[in-house]
Amino acid sequence: MDHEIEIRFQKLKAKLEEQFGEGMDVQAILFLIGVDHLGIGYKNFTKNEKVDLLHIAICTLLEPFGYYTFEGRDNDNWPHYKLEKQLPPLSDPEQQHLIKEAMLDYFAEEGIFVEEKIIR
Q: Tell me the per-residue pLDDT of 9-67, one tens digit each, with 9 for 90 and over.
A: 999 999 999 988 898 999 999 999 999 999 887 789 999 999 999 999 999 999 999 99
Q: Is residue 114 part of a domain?
A: no
pLDDT for the residue numbered 117: 54
What is the sign, positive or negative, of the torsion defined by CA atoms of 25, 87, 7, 13?
Answer: negative
State the DSSP H helix or E strand holding residue 106, giving kind and residue range, or none if neither: helix 92-109
Q: Is residue 53 part of a domain?
A: yes
pLDDT for the residue numbered 1: 52
pLDDT for the residue numbered 116: 62
Q: Is residue 115 part of a domain?
A: no
Reported residue count of the chain is 120
The single-letter code of the amino acid at 24 is M
Distance CA 4, CA 44 (A): 36
pLDDT in tens, 61-99: 999 999 999 999 999 889 999 999 998 899 998 999 999
- Domain of residue 18: give its range: 3-109
pLDDT for the residue numbered 81: 97
**CA of residue 120 relative to chain centroid, distance:** 30
Number of domains, the chain: 1
pLDDT for the residue numbered 56: 97
Q: Is residue 35 part of a domain?
A: yes
Q: Is residue 118 part of a domain?
A: no
> Is the CB of residue 7 less than 8 Å from the CB of residue 13?
no
Q: Is residue 18 part of a domain?
A: yes
- pLDDT bin (cut points 50, 70, 90) of residue 113 is confident
Q: Is residue 84 part of a domain?
A: yes
Q: Residue 68's closest CA among 55, 50, 77, 49? A: 55
The single-letter code of the amino acid at 97 is H
pLDDT at position 119 over 50:
no
- The C-alpha angle with vertex 95 and arms to 47 and 4, in degrees rounded to 5, equals 120
